[in-house]
Amino acid sequence: MKLLRYRAGKEVLPGLLDNSGIIRDLSGHVPDITGAVLNDAVLARLAALDPSELPQVEGKPDLAPCVGQCGKFLGIGLNYTDHAEEMGMALPEHPILFLKATSSITGPNDDVVLPRGSVATDWEVELGVVIGTAAKYVSEEEALEHVAGYCVVNDVSERDYQTKLTGQWTKGKSCDTFGPIGPWLVTRDEVPDPQKLWLACDVNGVRRQTGSTSRMVFTVAQIISHLSQLMTLHPGDVIATGTPPGVGMGAKPKPVYLKSGDVMQLEIEGLGVQTQNVRSDSR
């Protein structure tokens, strides 16, 4: 299934994308797409519905983040071998963990807003993992059983904030609008192997990133298992699993960063496309 959330006036409603690309309203069956409905039992109930009998959503509504009420937004750094090479950094011994504030989460096609003083805002297409059932001390072998599904994440990063403001990467990762998620949450039954997906990111129509999840240093299963030794992963938590090469910071002969008026388009095989316009903060 491809689950989603869409805006109807001041409301955000749950939906499903059918095989014809039509959005169907799920509000008669679940109140929202959150951790509370991402367990296997509820997902099986939704999967048993006949999409043609669900109300059709008219027009092209704005899409909200594909999962609501996210408790934790976790990021993994330097998790692609070829990305580490372009950055001139050694491969990590353990997954590098940072946090993105949940207030950075936006819809897949919402504007990315450059914060005041930003001079080094960068793009990062990433495979997002959404937890479906609580995971604590899980093995690699059972880790994927705790996944509800997968989505596209743009781990937008302000590199000066990340590297020069002293402290953790979180500062450069958590600005408002720096976490577009979606367009939909694709349930794990439609992604039999998360390590066999291609990813891409275009900026102003120019291909900047191309990669494959097969180049991950730590697999999705290894990441979930590792994190579950440190903390309980709860339903609705989102993990951004790292980015392939081609980020602006690694461009040669000098870095290239986002500016107002730029357009980003990100895609992951089978998980859909998201598009963001970049603008400066006018406040």
Show me where the domains of the chain are located: 2-53, 73-280
**pLDDT tens for residues 44-100?**
999 999 999 999 999 999 999 999 999 999 999 989 988 777 777 788 899 999 999
Q: Average pLDDT of the chain? A: 95
Distances, alpha carbon 107 to alpha carbons 5, 82, 125, in Å = 9, 29, 15
> Could you tell me the two tokens for 151?
């989505």
Mapped onto helix, strand or coil, the DSSP state of residue 51 is: helix
% pLDDT > 90, the chain:
88
Q: Do the Cβ atoms of 27 and 145 come closer than 8 Å? A: no
Across 124-134, average pLDDT:
98
Residue 154's contacts (CB-CB under 8 Å, 6 or more residues apart) are: 112, 123, 124, 125, 126, 179, 180, 201, 264, 266, 274, 276
Return the pLDDT at 164: 80
Rg (CA), the chain: 18
Superfamily of chain region 73-280: Fumarylacetoacetase-like, C-terminal domain (3.90.850.10)
Structure token digits, residue 217: 């240093």
Q: What is the mean pLDDT of residues 249-259?
A: 93
| Both tokens assigned to 70 | 């996210």
pLDDT of residue 168: 76
* C-alpha–C-alpha distance, residues 21 and 278, integer Å: 27
213 touches 283 (CB < 8 A): no
Let me know: does 270 contact 199? Beta carbons within 8 Å.
no
Residue 281: what pLDDT? 87
Model confidence, pTM: 0.96
Q: How confident is the model at residue 131 (pLDDT cuts 50, 70, 90)?
A: very high
